[in-house]
Amino acid sequence: MENKDYFKELVGVAKNSEGTLNEQANIFADSWEGARKRVQAAAEGIYDSLIDEEFFKDVDNIVTVVLNGINATIKGLGGVKGVLSNIGALVTTIYRKEISQGLNTFGDMIMNLTPKGKAIIQMRRQDALNQ
């Protein structure tokens, strides 16, 4: 008999807890947190739909090929020293005229610091005006 009463008590608790559980679920569903979680779940669904794992594998493979090519080029040029000397040669070739003019201007500035240098610069200006 005791077990029967205990069983009835448990059935009553289960019936009441089902109503409480539904009530708690409804409260959560109507709450801001519930709404936020639904939005988050929807956003994650969109993200999962948009992200294609194969696309990123292909991108990674392409980047790997490019980086290996850059590495081979650097090794072929002799490392950092070779790369820098080749870049220096390229820059010198492209900007030869501007570098030359800049060095001439720098030289004139240094010459202008002494009285003899000022006289030479003045003489060059006169020659340029006379031509």
pLDDT digit string (tens) for 59-81? Answer: 899 999 999 999 999 999 899 89
pLDDT digit string (tens) for 73-107? Answer: 999 989 989 999 999 999 999 999 999 999 988 98
Neighbours of 131 (CB within 10 A): 5
pLDDT band (50, 70, 90) for residue 3: low
Q: Higher-confidence residue: 125 or 13?
A: 125
| Domain layout of the chain by residue ranges | 1-51
Q: Report whether pLDDT(6) > 70.
A: no
- As given in the structure block, the two tokens for residue 42 are 């929807």
* 17 vs 11: CA distance, rounded Å: 10
Neighbours of 123 (CB within 10 A): 10
